[in-house]
Each structure stands twice: as C-alpha cells, then as structure tokens.
C-alpha cells in the first residue's frame, strides 16, 4: 500500500453545522492568517441537518452583524406562540405559554438552508469546506494528543475488499481539532471515552426528533405561527411533544420529539409522530397537502449536569457534540453558534484547546443551561410532576439548591413482561407516509449498497436470543428508517441490517439496551439528502 497522503491545517473542524461554521467564520475574522478547514460527511452542506427550527438571532447578530441584509432563504419572523395539551386523540386544551417558549423576536428557519447559506460566507473568508468527506477516525500524535482526523476510504466493497475505484482516505493533520459533529458524534463518542471526559458528569441523555416539511393547500398557513403540543399520543410517562411551524409559501414544518428515556420496549417513536399528525388540531392543516422532505435526528437533552469536559489535548467539543441544547427553550442553534464563536476566540488567543472548558463554563452558554438544569429531569417522574417542577424551577429561576440526576437512556428500557404498555388510544392513519419505508423516500437517503455496513453490531447472537426474549428487539421499533429487521429463513431467525436506509439519526447507537450497536461513518457523501429541513 502506498504511503497515506497528508494535508496540514492550523485548525480542522469536523462538521459543517451551525457550530462548526460559526467557529470557522469567527476564527478567520480574528486570525485571517490561519489555515482553517471544515469537513462534512454530507455531499453538500446542510443536506444532513435537521432541526425545527426557531432560532434566537443574538449570536448570529454577533457573528455576522449584517446578516439581515442578506437573510437565509427560509427566515420567517415568529408572529405568535401557542402551546396545546392534547388530552386524547380528539380533544385539546390551550395552555399558557411558559416564558422560555416565548418566541417574540425569533425566526423560523430551515437549519439546513441556514448552514448552506453560511458556508459560502465562510469560504469567502478563506475557509476550505470539504463536503462529501467523512472523518472516519481521530489521528493522534506521539504524545497521545489528538492531531487531526483520518478521512474514510472510498470505494471499499461490502466485504472490505477494494473496488476498482478505491481511493484511500487522507489524513488531515492540525494543531487543533474542533469536533462539531452534532448530537452523538461518532468521533466525539470515541474521544469522550478515550479521555474520560464524562468522568465528572452525568451520562448524556437524548431525544429522537422527526420532521416533515409539508406543502399544504392555500389559505391554511399563518406565516410565523409557532405551535407546540404536549400529551397525546404519548403516555404521561414518556417525555416529548410536537412542533408545528408555519412558514411562507403555504409550507409547514411539523415535527415530533420523544425522549429516549422512554421505558416501554414496545414504543415506536415513528408511529407516535404519525399518530400526532392525525389529531384533528393537526390533520386539518395537513390534509390534502404533500410532503416535500422528511427525516430524523437524535438531539441532546442532558443539559448542564451531562455536559462533559469539552477540551482534551489537541481537540475541543462545541455545539451539540458537547451537548449544549437548551431543552426548555427547545433550541440549540444559538448555543451552537455561541460555543463556536467562543471556541474560535479561545483558539485565536491561546492557539490551543487548553483552557477552553473553563472558558465555556464561565460563558453565557453554560449559565443558560445551569438555570434550567432541573426542568428536563423532572419529567422522569411523569408529565404532571414534570410540568409542576418546571413551573417551580422557572419561578425560582433555577436557584434550587439541588441538581436532579440524569441516567443513561439505554438503561431506562423495561423488559417485556415487567412493563405493561399503556393503552395508546391510537387511530387509523391515512396521511402519508404509510410506513417507515415510504418515509425514508422523503429523506432521499442513499448509500452505495456495496460498502461495509456502517452500523456495527458487535454480537448479533444477542439479538435472536437474549434481546428477543428480554425486550422483543426494540431496534425494529425505535429506528425511524426501518434499518433493523428480524428476518426468518431456512437458517432460522437473524438480524438484517438495511444500512442503505439509514438517515444518520444515531438513535440505535443511543437506545440499544445492550450498547452493542456502534454507528460509524459510511462512505463520504452517503446518507440522507434533506431539502430545507
């Protein structure tokens, strides 16, 4: 094998999301002489970004004061807020909107489109952005510090052999590596473990978010209207809710988030989302419309107490790779941009990652998380306690002398037989998509079938024996893209992994109760291709 090619940069950023791009832009603003690159596994910037998204503009104002003169393609000022409690499949009550969820002055955007809009602005400052290149693994120097990343090989067959077009991935070496991979980043996960960055924090917790962008008939949309719902189709023990954001041009973004600390092994987040769309409050908006794009992505929910140390020798974590999303606000973009800018200022001043964790913890980003730290864990005790606790924490401004604990999502799943699934009060569905395969079609996901399976299950025997018995193979239900199937043929039952369907949401890596699924990067450019999500 020939010697692996190497490129050198001062700083490499992994992931062209809001955190990574804000970092690169800010660093070049401060230190134009530094060489900065951003690598991105999606074939174009924004194609694998999925978010609500209502954003607070302040950090963007700080990063690009003139941004309003040339706004991103989808950018609708919020006009009104509503919060609904769906009591069952047909009834609903309007709730007062809690202060964190007031969105006056905020904007409804497509985060994918926003990043696609940020990328050329970064490039104009001299940042090299390389979409279609996946960081497969970290590279270390002789002292064990992170020294860059290795790009995945292209043209490897399913069995690991080299196909005719085989192209070896290069190493990108850098003085500082910035991990901006988003929630449950594949390199971040490895490095948090290697450097024991989560030694002094609670386990990170997550939710799964699914979203569809709809084109609906004329006259139904109120541009700028923001609606959130709680309650049905979730049972009170499961945390979650929906968002319905009215855009322009008769478009509506609708999404659903379920906490991955759910207990019911028979629960299917995808089905819950589809049910939600059939509540009369929602269905009236969508009926007769069509889906433009759809997908799914895990999000971090652990907040303050789950925030790992965000620096290690040679590298740092920003945005949701660190876990900065503010759950009560249901927003993370402002935190991502803020942490990206802070990291850039730190690197510009110190030239290394050292001291970044402290700087971040002293910043407004972490202060914001600390204030709301007890709200999300309050929902471990159910919806009603959670709402009561949230009201208390809000009134007291997070000054409670206690900090509620988080525990790992995979450990919350109950075993079959030890848990009685609640009566779900589900309805017959007729809105698209019919099922998960039909849904994946809207994600436009694509993986060359002849490449190694990028969902590594270390022991597939467990699936057929232990897991089937204990949990009834929850992977076949929590995956929103129907990647996992138990099939039966002459040889008996076995796990079939339809890796080509994967939308890179990372839920399996998080929720699998045995923690034997490892999501790794597929060939660069593979995966979903979202439009305006």
Partner 1 sequence: MKILVGYKRVVDYNVRVQVKPDGSGVATDGVKLSANPFDDIALEEALRLREKGVAEEIVIVGIGPADLTAHLRNGLAMGANRAIHVTTDGAPQPLTAARTFLKLIEKESPDLVILGKQAIDDDANQTGQMLAALWGRPQATFASELAIADGKATVTREVDAGLETIEAELPAVVTTDLRLNEPRFIKLPDIMKAKSKPIDVIEFDSLGVDSGDHLKTTNYAPPPKRSKGEMVEDAAGLVAALKQKGLL
**453: nearest Cα among 157, 202, 54:** 157
User: For the CA atoms of 46, 50, 52, 58, what is the dihedral angle to 10 degrees?
Assistant: -40
Under 8 Å between Cβ of 364 and 47 = no
Among 387, 444, 462, 468, binds partner 1 (CB under 8 A): 444
Q: Which H or E run contains 63? A: helix 58-63
Binding flag, residue 7, partner 1 (CB under 8 A): yes
Q: What is the DSSP letter of 416?
A: B
Shortest Cβ 217–partner 1 spacing (Å)? 10
If the CB atoms of residues 60 and 149 are measured against partner 1, the closer one turns out to be 149
Q: Is 167 in the site for partner 1 (CB under 8 A)?
A: yes
For the beta carbon of residue 447, count every other beta carbon within 10 angstroms: 20
Q: Contact 321/19 with Cβ under 8 angstroms?
A: yes
E strands, 168-289, where?
A: 171-179, 206-215, 225-231, 240-246, 251-259
x/- letters, 17..56, toward partner 1 (CB under 8 A): --------------------------xx-xx---------
CB of 531 to partner 1, least distance (A): 5
Number of neighbours of residue 423 by Cβ within 10 angstroms: 7
Binding segment (CB under 8 A) for partner 1, from list 13-21, 51-59, 165-173, 361-369 = 165-173
110 is a contact residue toward partner 1 (CB under 8 A): yes
Residue 464 half-sphere exposure, CB side, CA atoms within 13 Å?
Answer: 12
Q: How far apart are CA 44 and CA 35, in angstroms?
A: 21
- Judge contact between 243 and 55, C-beta under 8 A: no
Active site residue 75: no
Examine residue 116 and tell whether it contacts partner 1 (CB under 8 A).
yes
250 binds partner 1 (CB under 8 A): yes
Q: Should residue 502 be labelled a site residue for partner 1 when binding is judged by CB under 8 A?
A: no
Of 184, 79, 180, 68, the residue nearest 117 (C-alpha): 68
Region of 254-262, 263-271, 441-449, 504-512 interacting with partner 1 (CB under 8 A)? 441-449
The 255-294 contact track toward partner 1, x by CB under 8 A, reads: -------------------------------------xx-
Residue 69 DSSP code:
G
Active-site residue identified among 508, 521, 526, 529: 508
x-or-dash string of contact with partner 1, 289-328, rule CB under 8 A: ---xx-----------------------------------
Question: Does 522 interact with partner 1 (rule: CB under 8 A)?
Answer: no
Helices 111-124 and 18-30 pack at an angle, to 10 degrees, of 20
Which positions from 464 through 493 interact with partner 1, judged by CB under 8 A? none
Q: Are 486 and 473 in contact (CB under 8 A)?
A: yes
Q: Respond yes or no: is residue 158 known to be catalytic.
A: no
Is there a catalytic annotation at residue 358? no
CB count in 10 Å sphere of residue 458: 10
**Nearest approach, Cβ of residue 108 and partner 1 (Å):** 15
Q: Would you call 508 a catalytic residue per the annotation?
A: yes
Which phi-psi region, left, alpha or beta, contains residue 458 (left: φ > 0; alpha: ψ -120 to 50)?
alpha
In this structure, are residues 179 and 187 in contact, taking their beta carbons and an 8 Å threshold?
A: yes
170 contributes a contact to partner 1 by CB under 8 A: yes
Binding to partner 1 by residue 128, rule CB under 8 A? yes
What is residue 529's DSSP assignment?
-
115 is catalytic: no
> One of 37, 115, 475, 502 is an active-site residue; which one?
502
**In the complex, least distance from residue 72 CB atom to partner 1, rounded to whole angstroms:** 10
Least CB distance from residue 297 to partner 1, whole Å? 17
Binding to partner 1 (CB under 8 A): which residues in 133-162? 133, 151, 154-155
Enclosing H/E stretch for 436: helix 436-443
Residue 76 sits in the site that holds partner 1 (CB under 8 A) = no
222 is catalytic: no
Bridge partners of 296, per DSSP, are 210
Cis amide leading into 267 (omega within 30): no
Please give the Cα distance from 127 to 118 (Å, whole number): 11
Judged by CB under 8 A, does residue 529 bind partner 1? yes
> Binders of partner 1: how many residues, by CB under 8 A?
36
The residue (of 224 and 524) whose beta carbon lies closer to partner 1 is: 524
Active site residue 463: no
Q: Known catalytic residues?
A: 51, 297, 333, 479, 502, 505, 508
Binding site residues, partner 1, CB under 8 A: 5, 7, 43-44, 46-47, 73-74, 110, 112-113, 116, 128, 130, 132-133, 151, 154-155, 164-165, 167, 170, 172, 215, 249-250, 292-293, 441-442, 444, 446, 529, 531-532
């Amino acid at each position: 094998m020939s010697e692996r090619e190497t490129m050198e940069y001062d700083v490499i950023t992994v992931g062209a999301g809001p955190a990574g791009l804000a970092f690169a832009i800010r660093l070049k603003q401060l230190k134009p002489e530094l060489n900065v690159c951003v690598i991105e596994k999606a074939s174009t910037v924004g194609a694998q970004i999925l978010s609500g998204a209502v954003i607070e503009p302040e950090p963007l104002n700080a990063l690009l004061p003139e941004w309003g003169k040339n706004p991103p393609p989808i950018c609708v000022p919020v006009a009104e807020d509503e919060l609904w409690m769906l009591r069952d499949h047909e009834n609903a009550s309007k709730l007062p909107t809690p202060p964190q969820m007031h969105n006056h002055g905020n904007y409804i955007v497509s985060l994918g489109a926003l990043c696609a809009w940020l990328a050329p602005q970064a490039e104009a400052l001299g940042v090299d952005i390389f979409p279609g290149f996946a960081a497969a693994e970290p590279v270390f120097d002789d002292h064990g510090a992170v020294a860059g990343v290795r790009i995945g090989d292209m043209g490897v067959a399913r069995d690991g052999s080299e196909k005719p077009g085989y192209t070896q991935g290069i190493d990108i070496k850098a003085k500082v590596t910035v991990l901006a991979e988003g929630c449950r980043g594949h390199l971040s996960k490895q490095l948090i473990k290697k450097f024991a960055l989560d030694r002094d924090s609670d386990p990170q917790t997550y939710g799964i978010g699914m979203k569809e962008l709809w084109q609906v008939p004329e006259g139904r949309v109120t541009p700028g209207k923001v609606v959130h719902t709680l309650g049905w189709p979730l049972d009170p023990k499961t945390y979650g809710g929906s968002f319905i954001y009215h855009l322009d041009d008769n478009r509506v973004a609708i999404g659903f988030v379920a906490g991955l600390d759910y207990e019911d092994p028979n629960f299917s987040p995808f089905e819950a989302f589809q049910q939600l769309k059939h509540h009369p409050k929602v269905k009236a908006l969508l009926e007769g419309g069509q889906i433009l794009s759809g997908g799914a992505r895990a999000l971090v929910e652990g907040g303050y107490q789950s925030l790992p140390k965000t620096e290690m020798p040679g590298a740092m974590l920003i945005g949701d790779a660190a876990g900065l999303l503010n759950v009560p606000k249901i927003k993370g973009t402002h935190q991502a941009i803020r942490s990206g800018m802070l990291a850039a200022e730190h690197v510009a001043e110190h030239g290394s990652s050292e001291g970044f964790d402290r700087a971040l913890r002293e910043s407004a980003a972490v202060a914001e998380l600390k204030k709301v730290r007890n709200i999300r864990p309050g929902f471990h005790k159910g919806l009603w306690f959670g709402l009561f606790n949230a009201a208390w924490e809000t009134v007291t401004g997070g000054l409670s002398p206690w900090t509620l604990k988080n525990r790992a999502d995979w450990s919350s799943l109950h075993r079959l037989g030890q848990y009685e699934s609640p009566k779900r009060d589900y309805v017959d569905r007729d809105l698209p998509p019919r099922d998960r395969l039909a849904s994946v079609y809207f994600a436009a996901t694509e993986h060359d079938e002849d490449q190694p399976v990028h969902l590594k299950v270390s022991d597939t025997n467990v699936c057929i024996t232990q897991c089937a018995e204990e949990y009834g193979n929850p992977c076949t239900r929590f995956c929103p893209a129907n990647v996992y199937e138990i099939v039966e043929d002459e040889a008996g039952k076995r796990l079939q992994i339809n890796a080509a369907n994967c939308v890179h949401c990372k839920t399996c890596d998080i929720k699998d109760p045995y923690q034997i699924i490892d999501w790794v990067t597929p060939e660069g450019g593979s995966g979903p291709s979202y439009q305006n999500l």
